[in-house]
């Protein structure tokens, strides 16, 4: 019976030591993924004959001497593997 107590105590001590080692290592080196931010695009806009944007919100850029300026698409944020992070298209 004395052998079982020694074995259990040794296993319990190893389990505690391993748990403490894992906790210390996880706190010592926090892992942070480096996310490279993307660049925002520009939305479409309207210009008038003088090259200026007309005041107010324009429902469309047709007629009244307005010209549609196409917007530019942005680039998505990427992680170190070169992919967009989850939840981003």
Give residue limits of the domains in the chain.
Answer: 1-32, 36-71
Q: For the segment 17-26, what is each residue's pLDDT rounded down to a tens digit?
A: 999 888 887 7
pLDDT of residue 74: 85
- Residue pointed to by tokens 């001590």: 13
pTM above 0.85, yes or no: no
The two three-digit tokens of residue 36, written as one number: 């490279």
For 62-88, write each residue's pLDDT tens digit: 767 777 777 788 888 877 777 766 775
**pLDDT number for residue 17:** 92
- Give how far Cα 44 sits from Cα of 63, 69, 76, 84, Å: 16, 6, 19, 24
């Amino acid at each position: 019976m004395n052998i079982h107590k020694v074995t259990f105590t040794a296993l319990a001590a190893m389990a505690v030591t391993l748990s403490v080692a894992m906790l210390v290592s996880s706190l010592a080196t926090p892992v942070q993924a480096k996310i490279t931010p993307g660049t925002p695009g520009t939305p479409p806009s309207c210009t008038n004959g003088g090259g200026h944007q007309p005041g107010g919100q324009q429902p469309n850029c047709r007629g009244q001497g307005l010209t549609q300026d196409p917007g530019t698409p942005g680039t998505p944020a990427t992680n170190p593997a070169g992919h967009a992070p989850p939840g981003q298209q």
